């Protein structure tokens, strides 16, 4: 089963990479970019069924991929 996890910064938290990209784009003359956001996406292929895959990937996302103080994650199934 293939599962996708999207990790992003919480709405009220600064995204340092996005801010740096936006600043540099502006310096390089790309002044029409009003906002930049970044996400990190992880795609997992497991040998478990749907229920166990979601349980395991959920634990991994919470414990390893995300810092819950500043980030949130979203899990979705891509294919069986």
Q: How far, rounded to the nearest angstrom, does the alpha carbon of residue 60 sit from its chain's CA centroid?
A: 13
Q: Could you give the CA distance from residue 14 to residue 32 in angstroms, rounded to a whole number?
A: 21
Residue 79 binds a second copy (CB under 8 A): no
Residue 45 binds a second copy (CB under 8 A): yes
Nearest to 17 by CA among 41, 36, 42: 36
One of 35, 51, 69, 80 touching a second copy (CB under 8 A)? 35
One of 30, 50, 62, 77 touching a second copy (CB under 8 A)? 30
Residue 34 binds a second copy (CB under 8 A): yes
Q: How far, rounded to the nearest angstrom, does the alpha carbon of residue 12 sit from its chain's CA centroid?
A: 16
Residues in the site for a second copy, rule: CB under 8 A?
Answer: 6, 18, 21, 24-25, 28, 30, 32-48, 52-53, 56, 60, 64-65
């Amino acid at each position: 089963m293939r599962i996708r996890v999207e990790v992003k910064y919480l709405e009220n938290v600064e995204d340092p990479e996005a801010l740096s990209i936006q600043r540099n784009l502006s310096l390089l003359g790309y002044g029409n970019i009003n906002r930049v956001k970044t996400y990190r996406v992880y795609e997992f292929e497991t040998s478990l069924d749907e229920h166990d895959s979601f349980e395991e990937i959920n634990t991994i996302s919470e414990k390893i991929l995300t810092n819950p103080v500043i980030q949130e994650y979203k899990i979705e199934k891509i294919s069986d």
